[in-house]
Each structure stands twice: as C-alpha cells, then as structure tokens.
Amino acid sequence: MSRQIRFNAFDMNCVAHQSPGLWRHPEDQSHRYKELGYWTDLAKLLERGTFDGIFIADVLGIYDAYNGNGDAAIRHAAQVPVSDPILLASAIAGATEHLGIGITAGTGFEHPFPFARRLTTLDHLTNGRIGWNVVTGYLPSAAQNMGQLDQLQHDERYDHADEYLEVLYKLWEGSWEDDAVIRDRQSGVFTDPSKVHPIGHHGKYFDVPGIHVGEPSPQRSPVIYQAGASPRGLKFATENAEAIFVAAPTKAILKKLVRTIREGLVANGRDPYSAKVYTLLTIVTDETEAKAQAKLEEYHRYASIEGSLVFMSGWMGVDLGAYDPSDPVGDVQSNAIISAVSNFQQADPSGKEWTVEDIGKWGRIGGMGPVLVGSAERVADELQEWVEETDVDGFNLAYAITPGTFEDIVEFIVPELRRRGVYPSEYAPGTLRNKLFGRGDRLPADHPAQRHRYIRADDEAHAGAPA
Ligand SMILES: Cc1cc2nc3c(=O)[nH]c(=O)nc-3n(C[C@H](O)[C@H](O)[C@H](O)COP(=O)(O)O)c2cc1C
C-alpha cells in the first residue's frame, strides 16, 4: 500500500508569514491577522481539508541582523508587527472540532510555572487539541528585550530548555494523580490533597517547589512539537518531540535528516515512528499546469528579495546585506539556526556553492522550504515521491498568499490525494495525540516524561532529585 501523507498548515500571527512582499498581492488577506474571523475561517477551511493542525510560529524580537538594524524588517513587515499566537487557540477551538492547534512559545519567553497553567487551560478548552512548539530562540534582539545581554550560546539554550521541560513534565505529569479530583458533594471534598504533590524542583535555572495549580487536562502534556535540526537540537527533539518540523531544500538532505531523526528516537529508547516528521513546503497549484506556472510568476512579481534576505540573515545569524549578491555563502559560522547554514552549504547536488542572491531567491516564497508548482496530478506525484524516497510523514505547508494557497490545496490537492488513497478523508477520534498516533491521549510509556509521572507522597523528599 502507498504511504499515507499528512498535512499541517504553517502560519504566524502576522502579515505574509514567510513570503515577504506578498502582502501586496490583491488577494492576500494576511493584513487581517488582527481579526478573529480571519483565523476561525482559516481553521474551518483546514479542517475541511483534514489537516492535522495549524502550527502558529512566533518570535519575540525583530530580524535586525540584515544591515545591522531592524529598518528593513519593519518596512517589509517581516514578522513584525506580530501578535501572540497563544491567544488564538481558544477561538480556533470554538470554531472547529478536530483541527490540532500548535502554538509556539520560547523557553526564554517566560517562567515555566505560569506557562504550565496556560497550556493546561488551553488543553481543557480545546478538548485536548493543543500542541506546543518548543523553541529556544535565535534572535539576539528577543533575548535583549527579556533583559539579557545576548541569547545564551546555541547549545546552552538547549540545556536551559531541558530543564524548562523537566519542570513542565513534573507539573503536568506528576503533580496530580488521575483520581485526585473527586468532587464529592456529600463529604464536601473537591480534591483529595493526598493525591496532589509538590514537585520540589530545584535546578540550575529554576526553583519550583509547589504543586501544579491546574487540574490534569485531557492530554496532560500538550503534544510536543520541535524544530531543531543541529546535532544538539536533534538530540533535544528526539528525546522530547512527537512532531518534528524540518526544513530541507532537497530530497537528499531530507532523507538524511529523517534517518538521523529515526535513529535518534531509537537511541533515546523510543519507537522510530513515535514522532511525526513534517517537512516545510509551499504548494502553488491550479486547474492546469499553465495556470499554476502563471500563478507562480505572478507571486514572484510581488515577492521581496530584500525581505527574504532579512529572514535569511536572522535565521543564519549573519548580515547578508554586507555581502555582494554574487558572493558564495561560504563557511559561515552561526549562533542562530546552525542547520540553516549547513543546509545551504550542501544544497546543490552538483556541488555549486549557493550565493547570497540564490538564497534571497530561494526564500522569497515559503521561507527555507522548496516550492512545488503544477497541476494537482503533478504536485500529488511529487508529494508521493518526497514521502516514499525520504520516509518523511508529511508536509508543513507554508503559504504564498493566504487563505488563497490553502484554498487551492483543499480544492485541488486534497481531493487528488484522497482519490489515490494516500490522504485521510476523516479524522481519528479523540485528542490531538490520539489522532496522530492512535494510542491514547497521554504521552506513551517510552517517552522521557514518564519518569516524572508518579510523584507519590513518600517520594516527595526525592522529587527534586535528578531522575
Ligand atoms: C519549520 C520550522 C519552524 C520553526 N518555527 C520557529 C518559531 O516559530 N519560533 C522560533 O523561535 N524558532 C522556530 N524555528 C527554529 C527552531 O525552533 C530552532 O530554534 C532552529 O531550527 C535552531 O535550531 P538548530 O540550530 O538546532 O537547527 C523553526 C524552525 C523550523 C525548521
């Protein structure tokens, strides 16, 4: 049987997310990101297309590497202005029944204690449809605005994130026993205090002695999303993540990456398919090949190369404005997204090194992922090839214009894939975790959070000890 393909929508609470300049396109609606109806209509559309989820990215700083200041980012609306993704989740949940809602929050954004409660609240309000994209950040401007001189060094950001997650797992998984809430009207006991446990966490970065203040939600821990692709990022992802988001310019690079991820999951004692891997991609399609090509050309007329270089400079941690467009990317060192740099260094199968101009053109639609263009038949063929050749589970679909790109996918691509029997026609029941894996609502037994699951009264003295 042919492999099944999964879709996820990649978005952000801002204008023209990863397609700089395309906010100028007459059909693009992304300037309406401030309206609730814009999000709820999009969510309903995605649910009609049986997308696994909407994944809402976030950054808490501006892309100011390019030319050494934020002017170009601000001019092009390159992810600034940007609103909070978390506040969209309840509204999207109210408008849909099945769609997963993946929100991004950085481990440097806020203390884990209030964050734990916020996600528990959302997991209740969405009936267990929350995913959390754990990001460690790559913009020095974000760290500076949070009172630090600069962000931590790349690998230390992940050490900090390890402890952030440890605190959260203890709160979400360990603090409340399943039968703690008894709501007994006769005795007047709502919650049995002997079944609610302080987590006693004392670590390098955080001290959290007390109990989780939220009642256990359907999934307890949200579905953990992650997108790190450096060696340290992959270690973190394969220890924790259930959905791993990658960006690879070619099938060859993706294949290697997916293999590394599956091996990493196994090395961490997990099933190699216990995380779904989604690769970033943008689809430009229409009724015919010719119309799809014409659409792409039209999008290119609105796209901004400078806006693309603003993003690429931020992701690579390098001022690409300081280079000549014909300069090769070379051996750039980065304290930002290390994988972004290495991918571009190996992108061309013929061995030709990419120049700054190549990178600018590559990123003008859909960020770091490739653009597939063509009729439904051609795009479906290509999607099947990507999945069969690389062992990836599905696609994280960015947009050129919104909701136009997603409308085209639901109108043309989804029916074609369903006709081929490789795409779902309906959702599995239950929580997001159960829809993805069909193995219940809670984290599986082979997940590291398991070791924080049972904090019993007599263990409390040891609750803060490393597990
Ligand atoms: C598809 C995708 C989505 C991402 N979304 C975000 C995001 O919303 N916010 C963020 O700060 N980083 C985001 N990142 C960056 C990663 O979380 C991670 O910080 C980055 O890949 C650097 O890790 P690495 O050096 O281990 O590759 C994203 C990366 C990818 C590939």
Residue 382, both tokens:
């290509």
Do 358 and 217 reside in the same domain of the chain? no
Do 380 and 442 reside in the same domain of the chain? yes
Specify the CATH number for the domain of residue 94. Answer: 3.20.20.30
Q: Which residues are CB-neighbours of 263 under 8 A, at least 6 positions away?
A: 272
Q: Cα-flanking dihedrals φ and ψ of residue 6, to 5°?
A: -120, 145
Do 192 and 273 reside in the same domain of the chain? yes
Do 175 and 36 reside in the same domain of the chain? yes
Residue where a domain terminates, one of 363, 390, 406: 363
Dist. CA 261 → ligand 1 center (Å): 16
Q: Cα-flanking dihedrals φ and ψ of residue 240, to 5°?
A: -110, -35
Do 72 and 137 reside in the same domain of the chain? yes
Dist. CA 408 → ligand 1 center (Å): 27
Question: Does 292 map to a domain?
Answer: yes
Are the beta carbons of 277 and 234 closer than 8 angstroms?
no
pLDDT score for 348: 62
Number of separate domains in the chain: 2
19 secondary structure, DSSP code: S
Report the amino acid identity of residue 127.
N
CA distances from 159 to 162, 222, 275, 334, 343 (A): 5, 21, 21, 18, 24
Given ligand 1 and candidates 133, 135, 230, which is best to mutate, with the most ligand atoms within 8 Å of its CB? 135
Mean pLDDT of the chain: 92
Q: Which of 340, 341, 330 is nearest to 247 (CA)?
A: 340
Question: Does 459 map to a domain?
Answer: no
Do 148 and 117 reside in the same domain of the chain? yes
Given ligand 1 and candidates 17, 56, 138, 226, which is best to mutate, with the most ligand atoms within 8 Å of its CB? 138
Question: Does 113 map to a domain?
Answer: yes
The verdict on the CB of residue 11 being under 6 Å from ligand 1 is no
Question: Does 166 map to a domain?
Answer: yes
Dist. CA 66 → ligand 1 center (Å): 18
Report the amino acid identity of residue 214.
G
Number of other residues whose CB lies within 10 A of the CB of residue 466: 6
pLDDT tens-digit map of 127-180? 999 999 999 887 777 778 877 755 677 788 899 999 999 999 999 999 999 999
**Ligand 1 closest atom vs CA 226:** 17
Residue where a domain terminates, one of 321, 336, 363: 363
- Identify the band that residue 461 occupies on the pLDDT scale cut at 50, 70 and 90: very low
Do 374 and 356 reside in the same domain of the chain? no
Q: What mean pLDDT is predicted for residues 43-50?
A: 98
Do 29 and 143 reside in the same domain of the chain? yes
pLDDT at residue 334 above 70?
no
104 among annotated binding-site residues = yes
Task: Give the global pTM.
Answer: 0.94
Q: Cα-flanking dihedrals φ and ψ of residue 20, to 5°?
A: -60, 135
The verdict on the CB of residue 304 being under 6 Å from ligand 1 is no
Distance of alpha carbon 420 from alpha carbon 427, whole angstroms: 18
Number of H helices, E strands in the chain: 16, 13
Do 183 and 108 reside in the same domain of the chain? yes
Residue 108, both tokens:
């440097």
Domain of residue 341 covers: 305-363
**Ligand 1 closest atom vs CA 139:** 11
| 386-402 core/surface letters (b: 16 or more CB in 10 A; e: else) | bbeebbbbbbbbbbbbb
- Does a cis peptide bond (omega within 30 degrees of 0) precede residue 81? yes
Question: Does 461 map to a domain?
Answer: no
The verdict on the CB of residue 57 being under 6 Å from ligand 1 is yes
Dist. CA 248 → ligand 1 center (Å): 13
Do 70 and 122 reside in the same domain of the chain? yes
Could you give the residue ranges of the DSSP H alpha helices within 403-462? Answer: 404-408, 414-419, 432-437
CA distances from 158 to 33, 137, 362, 462 (A): 31, 10, 29, 25
Residue where a domain terminates, one of 318, 345, 363: 363
Q: Which residues are CB-neighbours of 226 under 8 A, at least 6 positions away?
A: 133, 134, 233, 236, 237, 240, 241, 243, 244, 245
Distance of alpha carbon 225 from alpha carbon 240, whole angstroms: 8
427 among annotated binding-site residues = no
Residue 57, both tokens:
């990215």
251 secondary structure, DSSP code: H
Question: Does 464 map to a domain?
Answer: no
Q: What mean pLDDT is predicted for residues 207-215?
A: 97
pLDDT at residue 464 above 80?
no
Dist. CA 187 → ligand 1 center (Å): 50
Please report, rounded to a whole number, the percentage of residues in the chain having pLDDT higher than 90.
79
Distance of alpha carbon 266 from alpha carbon 258, whole angstroms: 12
Q: Which of 386, 391, 355, 356 is nearest to 369 (CA)?
A: 386
Question: Does 119 map to a domain?
Answer: yes
- Identify the band that residue 349 occupies on the pLDDT scale cut at 50, 70 and 90: low
The verdict on the CB of residue 280 being under 6 Å from ligand 1 is yes
Do 289 and 415 reside in the same domain of the chain? yes
Question: Does 460 map to a domain?
Answer: no
- Residue 198 zone, left/alpha/beta (φ > 0; ψ -120 to 50; rest): beta
pLDDT at residue 260 above 60?
yes
Do 310 and 280 reside in the same domain of the chain? no
Distance of alpha carbon 320 from alpha carbon 223, whole angstroms: 36
Distance of alpha carbon 371 from alpha carbon 380, whole angstroms: 13
